[in-house]
Structure formats: C-alpha cells, structure tokens
Structure 1
Amino acid sequence: MPGCDSQCCKRADIADDVTAHTKELMARRTKTLRTRAEKAEAERDTAYRERAHLVALLAAMTDDAVITYAPDVEEPGWQIVYLTIGGRQCSWHIAPRDADLFQHVERVGALDLRALWDGHTTAEKYQHIAATAAELAQRCGPACAEQHTETGRCEIARNR
C-alpha cells in the first residue's frame, strides 16, 4: 500500500526487492551459463571438424575405406567411416556437418562386411594407431610418408 509505514508493508517491500534481485541474478547467471555452453559446444565442434579432416585424409590414404550410415545414432545424417590400418579395423562417427569431407570414400550399405564393427573400443583403436605410427616411423621415417603401398612397405624401404 502506498505510504504504508507498517512492519508488514516494509517486509513485503523487502521481500519484493529480494525477489527482484534474485530474479535478476538468476537471469544473469543463466545468460552466463548459456554463453559458456555455447562456447564449449563451438570449441567441441571445431575439434571434431579438425578430427574429421584428419580421418578424411587417412581414408584417402587407406585401401578399402568405406562409409555407411550410423545405425547406433538416432539423430539423422550421422555416419561411420571404417578404415583398415595396419591390418586392423578403425572406425569413427562422422557428424552430418562433416559429411562433405568424405565424398571420396565409398558409400556402402550397413550389411557390407567392411562396415561391420569388429567390437574394438576407442582405447584399443588409438593404442593400435599409436603402435602403427611408431612402427612406420621406425621402419621408414617421415621422408616416405606418402609412398606407402597396399603392402604397407614404402618404396624407399623396399629399395634399402
């Protein structure tokens, strides 16, 4: 009530001020958290795009690379690229926004034997990649990185 000097009115005014202040703080905090989440999502998407570029390069350098739609992802457009690296299967999920990087990879149906997941874990995949990279580096070094053939031996190592 305007002009009310009673304790009850003062308490109500204080409660209204606290409520308004709390709402303002919550709105600012929500905006801050939303901004942080959007920034984190953009950073994640940038990292996945970088990874997709590298996987696309590996696919171009790998015999029998194939890509198929991902049956384990409900969101439409997701795909899985399967590569054989050092005799073992490696696979990566590819987001719809990165599909343009894989136009050079043979598209196959989900029942194609090359697109049947062998059960490898992410940790196993990267352990295998690290071991293969170490073997390639020791066997022939970076000078022949683009000269590897389907046998896994580069022309430089063959001619040694």
Structure 2
Amino acid sequence: MPQRPNRRAQSAVNATATRVGERLTQKIRAVEAERDGAYRERSHLVALLAAMTDGAVITYARDVEEPGWQIVYLQLGGHQASWHISPRDADLFAHVERVDVEDPRAQWDGHSTEQQYERIAAWTAELAEQCGPACSEMHTETGRCVIAKER
C-alpha cells in the first residue's frame, strides 16, 4: 500500500515550487522589458529614417491579429523596407502619412528581413561614398542632403 506523503515535506516542496515560479516570472518580465526597450529603440530609429525619407507611409498590419499593429513602408535607395510597429510605439510615427491598407505604396514587395538589411547596407555604403563627411555642409532647409536628392 502506498504511503501518504509527509505534509511537511509536501508543504516544503510547494513553497520551493512557488519561489521558483516567482523567480521565473520575474526573469520573464525582465526579458520582456529588455525586448520591448530594444523594439522602442528600433522604432525611434525607423521614425527618424521615415522623417528623412520621401514617400514614407504607414498603415495597419493585416498580418497581425492583435489590434493596433502597423507597418511603416519606406523606399531606401530604390528598394522597399518595412517594419512592424507595435501599438505602444505608434506615437513615434505621427509624422508619417497614414494610408489605407490597399494603397499601392503600402504593398509588401516580398523582401525577406535578410534582403532588407542587405539593401540597407548597400544604400548606406552608397550614401557614405557619395555624400561623405562633407555632406553636413550641403543640407537644405528641409534637412535632406542636396547630393542625395540630386541623384
């Protein structure tokens, strides 16, 4: 016949399990806060890039079931780049033209994340070569580089 577990032993096991669960919950919250902070930082940079890029648009994300998610679309060096924007970061994109999800400027061109960052790297290298450090003296009142604008 099986023995009944000792109540003190069972209570100690339950207390240990509770402490472990609480520590795991704290770690999960810390990791989520770190992730959210990284996404917020990325959103600040994408918002800055959108402000510096002609034709930037934002629309609601049809591919995300959670409400409030958006996608910002930019044309960088002649190629599309797009990012999902969390509802908590939407305030950073108030300056970006909002368009309907059917707007042709808000249609994903099929690029992968890897392709997107390859395109950005190539465009960055091109801008650095064409504009270079002297670029700071050639900005117009709009803040856009005259050299890049005339390409």
- When normalised by structure 2's length, the TM-score is 0.88
Distance 1:143 1:84, change over 3 A: same
Gaps of 5+ in 1: 1-7
**Residues 102-139 of structure 1 deviation map (CA, whole Å, 9 limit, x = unaligned):** 01000000110000000001111111111111121122
CA contact (8 A) 1:86 1:152 kept: no
Gaps of 5+ in 2: 137-142
CA RMSD of aligned residues (A): 2.0
User: How far apart are the structure 1 equivalents of 2:75 and 2:144?
Assistant: 17
- For the residue of structure 1 that corresponds to 2:66, the secondary structure is coil
Distance 1:21 1:91, change over 3 A: same
CA contact (8 A) 1:68 1:115 kept: yes
Answering whether residue 92 of structure 2 is matched by residue 95 of structure 1, we say no
Structure 2 counterparts to residues 22-33 of structure 1, below 5 A? 22-33=13-24
Among residues 137, 148, 151, which one is paired with 1:152 in the alignment?
148
1:147 Cα offset (Å):
4.0
Among residues 28, 48, 51, which one is paired with 1:60 in the alignment?
51
The corresponding residue for 2:72 is: 81
Distance 1:112 1:122, change over 3 A: same
**Residues 71-119 of structure 1 deviation map (CA, whole Å, 9 limit, x = unaligned):** 0000000000000000000000000011011010000001100000000
1:29 Cα offset (Å):
0.5
- For the residue of structure 2 that corresponds to 1:83, the secondary structure is strand
One-letter amino acid matched to 1:93: H
The corresponding residue for 2:96 is: 105
Answering whether residue 130 of structure 2 is matched by residue 130 of structure 1, we say no
Structure 2 counterparts to residues 1-20 of structure 1, below 5 A? 12=4, 15-20=6-11
The corresponding residue for 1:117 is: 108
103-112 vs 136-145, which deviates more? 136-145
Kindly, what percent of the aligned residue pairs are identical? 57
One-letter amino acid matched to 1:55: V
One-letter amino acid matched to 1:45: D
CA contact (8 A) 2:70 2:87 kept: yes
**Residues 2-55 of structure 1 deviation map (CA, whole Å, 9 limit, x = unaligned):** xxxxxx9xx65x622221111111100100000000001001111100000000
52-61 vs 129-138, which deviates more? 129-138
- For the residue of structure 2 that corresponds to 1:129, the secondary structure is helix
